[in-house]
Chains A and B, each alone.
Chain A
């Protein structure tokens, strides 16, 4: 693949490039460690490519190095450019890029905990995934760490950012919350009602998923990917399967691609309905909440009738889908048209209820430059003017064959996030209709016996945004699987969204960003 931008980058970096390889739409450039800050800075600011992921691999048993991958997305050309640096296994330090590119913050802290790679010059080098009771020098994703090890608990303390001043006090919330939500800790510093500072602390539900991928068979790995973020089961499973299919060089049958698209959109509909219901609940608009929850339940029941699982689980497999849903066409079409009609009425009701609009308009604003700097993805990013959608920019499944709009708004408040979701629901219904009417004939799955050695990206647009997998296989086993859930990017945005808002508005802002704790913590 040849594109202008890649040639320019290569010419620009000439003396710093050690090695170059291209597979599929992924361009890997191994560069000198010392030059990484300069190169990332140039790609990010000059070429204006978003940093979508950073991850490490442990290759000490092959060449004595850790490798760090910086992944940038070239949305215009459906390509990824990956800068790689080698970090000495015995002296694992490398220059941090966080002070230049804010979006790198958590990735570098994650690698510090998981691989023991020290980002030199990181502005906030505290622990992230390993809590204070985790012993020093133990790093789970290193190859010499056995997954069943249970490191002893040690004494330690986590130091929160502290805000001082007259009348400033702290409100600690969580990890066990009052509502039925996942665990996470929030620490508000407030004076009166407005929030001066919010610090989030997560990774309570860290289950060691990436390590687990390396220790289970490939068949089972599909099920594991479905359970990374429960309500985004399909998006995760499809992303994982696509990465594996890319490695295996398998062409998924058209019918399977169409069915995947239908499932992905069904998932988007029920998630967005749930989020809209949540926003209505949190502003005490009980009628709207009940109505939206009822619609969500109807989609869940439809899911169950169509696939056997309310969360659409167990449908995806490497090489296609396990079950044909062609015979349920009429039922899906009929149900969705009723749901869409009711949903339109509901949204009219929403926008004509002043008590609701008053609470959500201008609440929890994420300004476009903040969103861009933190790499906010999905509906939250699109509500802040970031015109990115994996379905359009990196087409997969059957999306290239359909027409759909990507709604983008600029205000970045709760209202625009609600409207983006509402518009996306209508687009999703239209997509499902297109897919069902054009459903190609024949088989739904090709058999994939053995996965050759290789590595590849798999990506989907989950209801929360861009979901990226990078998988490397060796000997029909997974050697490394990096999962980048959209919530991992979006969580930090909440610290900015709540500023100057009042504490009672926090639940609405949180709900409107629709963040997964499990997908983030893994």
Chain B
């Protein structure tokens, strides 16, 4: 199966899910909290004509105030900690947080040092972990599908 076929199948499933929950696109804000920029390369890849995630209802927005979900990369450096918290607080509830890449999941190779925080979940609550160094675009899409299931649960609980 080619990459294009994989994306087509995953994308359609995601599209249905997003439409059911939101009735519009899922708005994502990407936050680099100290990654090595490989994760940024892959997030940018998601917007290229091969993947073109916008057609499946994933929209990358410019401000956290417009976002439903934060896609955080990097191990959260000492110098980015405050900026990450401010971004998180600026995102309207109910908000989702995806930790993308090994560094965001648990600090990765940078670990916990004087400058590196050792993972996003030490600072803000994380809904889904997307491992990989960097995760392939397909992995990111899969991670987003998982987090959507979680949102369904979150909303469901509130109604009860």
Contact = CB atoms under 8 A, between A and B. Distances in A.
Interface of A: 131, 140, 145, 147-151, 175-176, 178-183, 203-209, 211-212, 220, 223-224, 227-231, 233, 274, 290, 293-294, 296-297, 300-301, 304, 310-311, 313, 516-519
A83 B16 CA distance: 65
Question: Which has the most chain A C-beta neighbours within 10 Å: B30, B48, B77?
Answer: B48
A267 to B, nearest CB: 11
Contact of B79 (A205, A212, A230, A293): A205
Contacts of A517: 37
Interface string B64-105: 100000000011011110010011000000000000000000
B37 A183 contact: no
User: Which one of B3, B38, B83 has the greatest number of beta carbons of chain A within 10 Å?
Assistant: B38
B50 A179 contact: no
B120 interface: no
B116 A207 contact: yes
B114 A150 contact: yes
B5 to A, nearest CB: 13
Dominant SS at the A interface?
A: loop
A215 B83 CA distance: 28
A203 B37 contact: no
Contacts of B40: 180-182, 230
A227 B80 contact: no
B83 A183 contact: yes
Contacts of B63: 178
12 contacts: A131-B79, A180-B60, A182-B32, A204-B34, A205-B34, A205-B35, A227-B110, A293-B48, A294-B48, A297-B45, A304-B136, A518-B37
Given A180-B43, A183-B80, A290-B49, A205 B32 contact: yes
B155 interface: no
A203 B83 CA distance: 13
Contacts of B38: 227, 230-231, 233, 311
Contacts of A294: 48-50
B10 interface: no
Contacts of B79: 131, 203-206
A148 B35 contact: no
B133 interface: yes
A299 to B, nearest CB: 11
Interface residues of B, number: 47
A176 B49 contact: no
A227 B36 CA distance: 6
B21 interface: no
B74 A205 contact: yes
Contact of B41 (A147, A209, A211, A274): A274
Given A180-B43, A204-B79, 16 more contacts: A181-B40, A182-B32, A182-B35, A183-B32, A183-B80, A183-B83, A205-B34, A206-B34, A208-B115, A212-B111, A227-B109, A230-B40, A274-B41, A311-B38, A518-B36, A519-B37
A179 B32 contact: no
Contacts of B141: none
A513 to B, nearest CB: 15
B69 to A, nearest CB: 14
> Closest 8 interchain pairs by CB?
A230-B38, A208-B115, A178-B62, A293-B48, A230-B36, A230-B37, A205-B34, A227-B36
Contacts of B115: 140, 206-208, 211
Contacts of B37: 182, 229-231, 516-519
Contacts of A147: 113-114
Q: Chain B CB within 10 Å — which of A149, A180, A518 has the most?
A: A180
